[in-house]
Amino acid sequence: MNQLEALKQHSTVVADTGDFLQLAQFQPQDATTNPSLILKSVQKPDYAPLLAQTVARFGGRPSDEIVDRLLVRFGCEILAIVPGRVSTEVDARLSFDTAATIERAERLMALYQAEGVPSDRVLIKIAATWEGIEAAAQLERRGIRTNLTLLFAFCQALACAQARVQLISPFVGRIYDWHKKQAGSQWDEAARAGEHDPGVQSVRRIFEYYKRFGIGTEIMGASFRNCGQIVALAGCDLLTISPELLAQLAQPVASTDALPRALDADAARELDLQPLQHDQASFRLALNEDAMASEKLAEGIRAFCADSVRLEQLIAARQGR
């Protein structure tokens, strides 16, 4: 048994990619995408025809609609391979507009339904801003399941729990990146590895709180930099992993030792924790007080916005604009 097979005994494995031709070999349950992953894929020869076909079919429509149709096309291709769900992201430029986020999410879901995809196989990804979380709360009440992404702070996880969203994606690797950069030459990689990794510790705190208070929102660790971070979160509800790291986990290993469960829901239920909650003012203050989370959330939104623009530019180029 390799580490990937062992990991699947503790957590649901999700592929984090738009490169759906790689999916079958790893047999993930679900898959996640974002504008950056789709942009990367459509620039490869294997996927360029999907962009060309989408533009040829819907070229007279507004560019934002064509982007959504392209995202759904990728999502449908992924769902033909994975047995579970696909996450498709709302344009990050709407991250601070609740009404526009709801409108775009409903359009994405309508496009999936027009392709015959049932709603329970789609998660709409939304940045975990206050406005995004409020949009998710309303969408959940309308039967549209959401995945709150770019989650770095405990206050974001609390607000998502209060909103009863389906799933959150705390970003392990980007938290790790920030702390490593801040420490500079003082960073001790060995001392901050595994369970001592700041990104791993962030997810553990959320996991323990959610399980202690019976919160139904699923936790999906995301944005991994190495296999050690993944192994240290075995037992998390889900783990979304890039094809590169899935390939590493799938390598044969000499040891026959079982991969241990690192996160234990039963143990978490026995912890002595106090229930917490946020309103808008306390959420914004808590996020502001967390320099890492504030910086990485803003940075992540900017990057996704830029890649959405680049997707629109590729479409415009195809249209000869």
Active-site residue set: 125
CATH number of 3-319: 3.20.20.70
Q: Can you tell me the mean pLDDT for 185-193?
A: 97
Please give the structure tokens belonging to residue 180.
């490593």
Q: Which of 153, 146, 139, 136 is CA-nearest to residue 167? A: 146
Q: Which residues of 79-102 are buried (b: 16+ CB within 10 A; e: fewer)?
A: bebbeebbbbbbbbbbbebbebbb
Q: Which of 137, 140, 196, 178 is CA-nearest to residue 297? A: 178
Average pLDDT over the chain, rounded to an integer:
96
pLDDT band, residue 275 (cuts 50/70/90): very high
Domain ranges of the chain: 3-319
Q: Using one digit for the tens of pLDDT, what is the confidence trace for 214-258?
A: 999 999 999 999 999 999 999 999 999 999 999 999 998 866 567
pLDDT band, residue 32 (cuts 50/70/90): very high
